[in-house]
Structure formats: C-alpha cells, structure tokens
Copies of this chain bind each other. A is one copy, B any other.
Amino acid sequence: MMIATPYLLYLGHSNDEIGIKTSRGLAVFRPDICVGEFRHDDCRLTLGLPRMGFADAYHAGARTLVLGIANAGGRLGAELVEDALDAMAAGLDIASGLHQRLKDEPRLVEAAARLGRSLHDVRDPRPDIPVGTGRRRAGKRLLTVGTDCSVGKMYTTLCLARALADRGIAADFRATGQTGILIAGSGVPLDAVVADFISGAIEQISPDRHDGGWDLIEGQGSLFHPSFAGVSTGLLHGAQPDAIILCHDPLRSHMRGLPHYAPPGLAECLEANLRVARLTNPDVRAVGIALNTAALPAAEASALCDRTAAALGLPCTDPYRLSVADIVDTLVEAFD
C-alpha cells in the first residue's frame, strides 16, 4: 500500500478526543507529512495544525485526506461520504482506518474511478499472508506488550524509534494497527487477519534483517484480555522478540470493556509474556516498563516510575512525557 503524502487530517464533526486518536497520532508522530486539519464549525477539537478546506489543502501540497476518526461502529456516515466526495473532487485521495470499507461504498468507488483517485482501506490485510513457521530470523527485534489494550504500546514503540534514531542506531517501527500503518506507511492490521495467519503476518512484516539495527514491533491487546489474548499470543510468536517492554496504565481499574476482569499485576504479566515468547526465542528478555501517566501530576508520575523500576528491577518511564534514555541504555548494553 503506497499512500500519497502529505496528508490532510480529518476531524469532521468530532468532539470526542478518543474518537480522533488516529488523526492525533499522525499529527504527533508525523508532523512532517501533515499539512493541515479539516474540521466543521461544530468541531471544538484541534490538532494544532492549520485549518484548511479541501481545495486549499490540495494547493498546499496535500495528496490524501486521512479519515482519522472513529465513530460509533466504525461506520462511514452520510456526512463522511459527502466530505470524502468533496475531497476527491478537489484532488485528494482518501485513506481510512474505519471498520466499514471505502471500497464497499458505491458512491466513493464511482467517484474514485471517474476522477482517477485512490481509496485506501488500511484495515484490509494484504492477500498473501503466509502461515507462520517460527524459523529464527536474522536481526534484532523488540516488541511492546501490555497489561491491557490501549495502554500506550504504539506511543512507546514510536518514542523508542525516535530515541534510537537520535542516537544513530538503525531502527524501524513495524505497525500492526491502523494508526501505526498510516504513520509508517506500511504494516499489517493484525486484528483483521484470519486466525491461522496471525504469527505469519508478523513474520512477513519483520523479515530477516542484516544491518545490525532493530525492528520495533507495535504490540496489540494483552495476554490477560479474554477477548484478544489470541492475537497477542500469535504476535509474540511471530515477533520472536529479543527484547520486550511492558506497557501499563496505572489508573486502569479493570480490563478495557470488561468490568468483571481486573488488570494483572506487572510482574505476573511480564513473566507470562516472557514465557510465551520463549517458544520462538528462548533468549527473550525484558528491557523496561512504560507507564501512561498522562492523568497524574508530574511529581507523582516520576515517583511512580521510580517505585515501579525498583520493584521490578527494570528501567521504568513514561516514554511520551519523560525520557526513554534509560531503556535505550539498557537495550544498547544488553545487545551490543
């Protein structure tokens, strides 16, 4: 999938911060390829980018409108379709991570064909994913794992990619979700892959690597989430990680969407991930803990990281708010 850049980021009528997380992720991690944001007058959110109409955005260089929002059920509503039609008329391609596919909306397909535009459904896996083999591959791999869904695995992986680049260490972010795919320009939408191919999909996006650098693989779900642990298991086996970082939201009182399930303890969760990972890489080791402390005062966040580091004997940080230097040090020391 080659999506033309730069992007115009769609906010539409959104007034829910969680609903715009794909657009937000792009603005945070790829400001270099985002020329502006599109929002209607009733949208009170902003990504801090210039507000633009479709024609202005095209003239400013934008080539693709990214529908980086999530609405109820992941549907393409009538207004979204109208906006996408207007954007195509102004010269833009369309990319979407919504559950309902662009290619299943006849009006969009017709307009794209007529105008010579491209429609990108980033939730469609490529058709040639192989069954996994567990064969050891050349190169070094790190995987972020979590106590739960939505605890910062993508942010942690991207912050680490940036920090390694700053130190001149070759590293590539390997995306496994729709936001990550839009950020990286490639990857696999793992939640949409057929069950028999989960580990094979990860083997495919992280092949043999011979330059001494790292593949940094975005984690999904949690071994302790009853809905999605199968995905996390196949991801661990396909990634055959040399190193894992455990991501956690310290304010999470129950597993996402499941009030009857408590989050696991950090030590228990770490040990379970190492145990599963050893099947395809017996030498796997933990190199850090990442906490999402956004809701805590700064002093409390730092103190919590310190306590957690002491308790688990691993560097602990909030990768987005604080520094990942300690984790990078551990990584360099352990593997170079």
Smallest CB separation, A297 vs chain B (Å): 34
Q: Is A196 at the interface (CB under 8 A from chain B)?
A: yes
Residue of A190, A227, A272 with most partner-chain B CB within 10 A: A227
Contact in complex: B224, A279 (CB < 8 Å):
yes
A223 to B193, CA, bound (A): 19
Best-buried of A135, A194, A235, A260 by chain B (most CB within 10 Å)? A194
Partner of A229, one of B131, B228, B233: B233
Picked from B131, B135, B195, B272, the residue with its CB within 8 Å of the CB of A198 is B195
Q: Is A230 an interface residue (CB 8 A)?
A: yes
- List B contacts of A230 (CB < 8 A): 195, 198-199, 230-235, 237
A83 CB to closest chain B CB (Å) equals 28
For A199, give its contact among B198, B229, B234, B235 (CB under 8 Å): B229
A258: chain B residues at CB < 8 Å are 133-134
Across the interface, which residues of B come within 8 angstroms of A233, CB to CB? 223, 229-230, 233-234
Which residue on chain B has the smallest CB distance to residue A230? B234
How far, in angstroms, from A191 to B228 measured CA to CA in the complex? 15
One digit per residue, 1 when the CB lies within 8 angstroms of any chain B CB and 0 when it does not, for chain A 219-252 equals: 0000110111111111101000000000000000
Please list the residues of chain A having a beta carbon within 8 angstroms of any beta carbon in chain B. 131-135, 190-196, 198-200, 223-224, 226-235, 237, 258, 260-261, 272, 275-276, 279-280
